[in-house]
Every structure is written in structure tokens, then in C-alpha cells.
């Protein structure tokens, strides 16, 4: 939610997806009159399907994590194919597209790389309970080998996963990174996808700390030092964090009473943390 409930860094929720429509150039094929009639849309369906925005809910995710609602392939198949045409789904998943194609009297071909989804696909398409109707027309082909070698490409995804991209030991200590998100009162996300957790501090006042981080640290350039003997998790790096002007943020959090030192762990600045803490208590 970004800086919720204060401006200026609220995040807009992207709760929609685009459908991209591509068409091969060339003449449309001739279609028999009766097939055309059988594939006709009503006026209401046409208005609804060809409007720029669709509103319908998602599918309940059981057995697969990314299933379409049936309404989605149903509309697209009815909009762009005639009965008897062939629909290709290169990423079958649970088989929703093939199921709808069959129900709409189209042929269908689906590819799925993960054999674990086979029984789900069979169940969805109806192989198990509707055997006499569909079985003679449905064929499952298992590929034994890759039919071609996929060439290696130098691809770096735009959305990075949460794992550190560089091993902490390989970090250039003076590289500056921009803070792009305050993930919680003790974790920052950097512009290279890494997540940094303040080393050795326990946040005492989460709400005030979040305000401070959102107001003063979000969007700023920081450098961080990882204490190599302090183990970092796979998903974040435990580190001392400094602003470009060398303000030591971990220390500031303790000095200002927002955090206290994590007791009983050893790291280079432990004694310094204790001094900051005493200083904060004296000034309280
Ligand atoms: C987003 S899901 C599709 C869900 C589907 N629309 C449904 O409603 O169930 C994408 C599927 O593509 C499969 N997949 C990924 N790469 C593939 C590949 N190279 N060949 C075939 N299937 C692949 C994945 O295993 C996954 O099940």
C-alpha cells in the first residue's frame, strides 16, 4: 500500500489484465452458411463481448494456481472462431480453454509441460465421466524427447524475484542503491530487486518507524554493509544501512527510540548499538 494512509507514495492496485489480439494478414476463409449461422452471436452478446472492458470474477484455484474463469476462453472462442475451427492453447494448465472449445463445438489442441496436471485436465475436459461422447476424439500424446533444443538467451526478467541477485560477499561496499519500496518497518526493497533488513535492531514502534522510512528513506540512495558472519536469509540481506550522506539508519532507529538493539547476537557494531540505546534512554 506504499505510504498508506498518507500521500504521496500510495500504490495503484492493478486488478485487471489486458488481452492482446493478433490477426494474421490475408483473406478470411470461406465458411459454410450453416456453420456461420450456428456460430452467430446475439445482439446482447455482441455488445457485451466487444466492449472494451469486461467484468467477471476469477476462477476458484483448486489443483492449479493460475486457472482462467471459463467465461474468458468462452468469449474469445465465440468472438474469433466458427464451429469446427481449431483452437490451440500452448499453455494448457488445467485445460479450461480446451474444455470450452469442445463445449462450443470447436476442435482443440493443448500443450502442457507438467505431467502432474494430466489427471486435472482429464477431469476438467470430462474424459473420465463423459467417455462415450468425447473419448474417441481425444488423444493424449506424451512427448518422449524435446523436439528441438531451445536456444539459450541472455534474458533478465523485468520483475525480479525476491532472492538476492548478488551474493552478499560479492557486493561492492560503496555502491549506491535506490530504495523503491518500504516493505515493512524493518525491510527495504532496492532498485536491483534485493531486500535489505536492518541488522541487529528490533523495532519497538512499527507505525512511527514506517512513517519515518516512508518520509525520509523511500526514494533515497543508500549503501549497505553486510556483516558477513551474520547469516542472511535467502529472501533478504541483513545489513547496516547508510544514507548517501553516511547517516547510519540502524543507529538512528535506536537513538531515536524507534528500535532497540537485538540482544545476545554478535556483530561488529553491537557495543555501539548499546551506547546508542543508553543515549536514547537518557534523553527519554
Ligand atoms: C497460467 S497456466 C495456464 C492456466 C490455464 N489457462 C487454465 O485455465 O488452467 C500456464 C501453464 O503453462 C504450462 N507451461 C509452461 N511452459 C510450458 C511449455 N513450454 N510448454 C507447455 N506448457 C507450458 C505451465 O505448466 C502451466 O500449467
- Predicted pLDDT at 37: 97
Question: Are 110 and 180 found together in one domain?
Answer: no
Q: Is residue 154 part of a domain?
A: no
Q: How far apart are CA 218 and CA 230, in angstroms?
A: 25
Range of the domain at 50: 33-137
Q: What's the rounded Cα separation, in Å, for the pair 127 and 3?
A: 51
Per-residue confidence (pLDDT) for residue 241, from 0 to 100: 94
Across the chain, which has 284 residues, the per-10-residue mean pLDDT values are 88 88 86 97 97 88 81 97 96 94 92 89 76 63 75 60 47 78 95 90 95 94 76 77 90 94 88 91 78
The pLDDT assigned to 60 comes to: 79
Contact status, residue 253 vs residue 240, Cβ threshold 8 Å:
no
Is the separation of the CB atoms in 68 and 17 below 8 Å?
no
Burial of 17 (0-12, 13-18, 19+ CB in 10 A): exposed
Same-domain check for residues 133 and 172: no
Among 119, 137, 155, give the residue marking a domain's end.
137
* CB burial readout 22-56, b (16+ within 10 A) else e: eeeeeeeeeeeeeeeeebeeeeeeeeeeeeeeeee
Residue 156 lies in a domain: no
Q: DSSP string of 214-233?
A: IIIITT-EEEEEE-TTSPPP
Examine residue 112 and state whether it is found in any structural domain, yes or no: yes
Q: Which residues, other chains included, contact 97 with Cβ-Cβ below 8 Å and sequence gap of 6+?
A: 68, 73, 77, 87, 89, 108, 110
Are 117 and 218 found together in one domain?
no
Same domain for 257 and 213: yes
- Probe residue for ligand 1, chosen from 92, 103, 108, 143 as the CB with the greatest number of ligand atoms within 8 Å: 92
Atom of ligand 1 nearest to the CA of 94: 9
- Specify the pLDDT at position 159: 47
**Is 161 inside any structural domain?**
no
Tell me if 253 is assigned to some domain. yes
Residue from 109, 138, 113 nearest 126 by CA: 138
The residues with which 181 forms a beta bridge, in sequence order, are 189
Structural domain contains residue 188: yes
CATH number, residue 104: 3.40.50.150
Q: Which of 137, 152, 187 is the last residue of a domain?
A: 137
Q: Both 131 and 188 in a single domain?
A: no
| Cα 208 from Cα 213, distance rounded (Å) | 9
At 135 the pLDDT is: 46
Domain end residue (candidates: 115, 137, 159):
137
How many domains are there within the chain?
2
Tell me, yes or no, whether 179 and 271 share the same domain.
yes
Give the domain CATH number at 272. 2.40.50.90
How many Å lie between the centroid of ligand 1 and the Cα of residue 91? 3
In this predicted structure, what is the pLDDT of residue 208?
Answer: 95
Are 180 and 122 in the same domain? Answer: no
Per-residue confidence (pLDDT) for residue 165, from 0 to 100: 46
> Phi first, then psi: what are they for 6, rounded to 5°?
-115, 150
Q: Are residues 184 and 277 in the same domain?
A: yes
Ligand 1 neighbours (beta carbon < 6 A): 64, 66-68, 91, 93-94, 96-97, 111-114, 117
Q: Going by CA atoms, what residue is nearest to atom 13 of ligand 1?
A: 91
Amino acid at each position: 500500500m506504499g505510504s498508506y494512509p498518507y500521500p504521496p507514495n500510495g500504490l495503484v492496485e492493478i486488478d485487471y489484465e489486458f488481452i492482446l489480439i493478433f490477426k494474421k494478414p490475408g483473406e478470411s476463409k470461406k465458411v459454410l452458411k450453416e456453420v456461420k449461422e450456428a456460430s452467430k452471436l446475439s445482439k446482447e452478446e455482441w455488445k457485451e463481448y466487444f466492449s472494451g472492458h469486461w467484468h467477471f470474477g476469477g476462477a476458484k484455484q483448486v489443483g492449479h494456481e493460475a486457472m482462467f474463469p471459463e467465461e474468458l476462453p468462452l468469449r474469445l472462442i465465440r468472438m474469433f472462431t466458427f464451429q469446427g475451427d481449431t483452437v490451440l492453447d500452448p499453455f494448457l494448465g488445467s485445460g479450461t480453454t480446451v474444455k470450452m472449445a469442445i463445449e462450443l463445438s470447436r476442435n482443440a489442441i493443448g500443450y502442457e509441460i507438467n505431467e502432474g496436471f494430466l489427471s486435472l485436465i482429464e477431469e476438467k475436459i470430462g474424459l473420465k465421466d463423459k467417455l462415450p461422447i468425447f473419448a474417441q476424439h481425444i488423444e493424449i500424446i506424451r512427448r518422449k524427447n524435446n523436439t528441438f533444443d531451445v536456444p539459450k538467451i541472455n534474458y533478465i526478467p523485468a520483475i525480479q524475484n525476491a532472492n538476492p541477485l548478488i551474493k552478499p560477499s560479492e557486493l561492492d561496499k560503496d555502491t549506491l542503491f535506490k530504495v523503491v519500496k518500504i516493505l515493512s518497518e524493518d525491510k527495504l526493497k532496492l532498485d536491483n530487486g534485493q531486500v535489505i533488513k536492518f541488522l541487529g535492531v528490533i523495532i519497538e514502534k512499527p507505525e512511527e518507524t514506517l512513517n519515518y522510512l516512508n518520509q525520509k528513506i523511500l526514494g533515497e540512495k543508500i549503501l549497505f554493509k553486510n556483516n558477513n558472519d551474520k547469516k542472511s536469509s535467502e529472501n533478504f540481506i541483513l545489513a547496516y544501512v547508510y544514507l548517501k550522506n553516511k547517516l547510519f539508519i540502524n543507529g538512528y532507529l535506536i537513538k531515536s527510540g524507534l528500535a532497540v538493539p537485538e540482544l545476545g547476537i554478535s556483530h561488529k557494531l553491537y557495543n555501539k548499538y548499546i551506547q546508542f540505546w543508553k543515549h536514547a534512554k537518557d534523553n527519554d
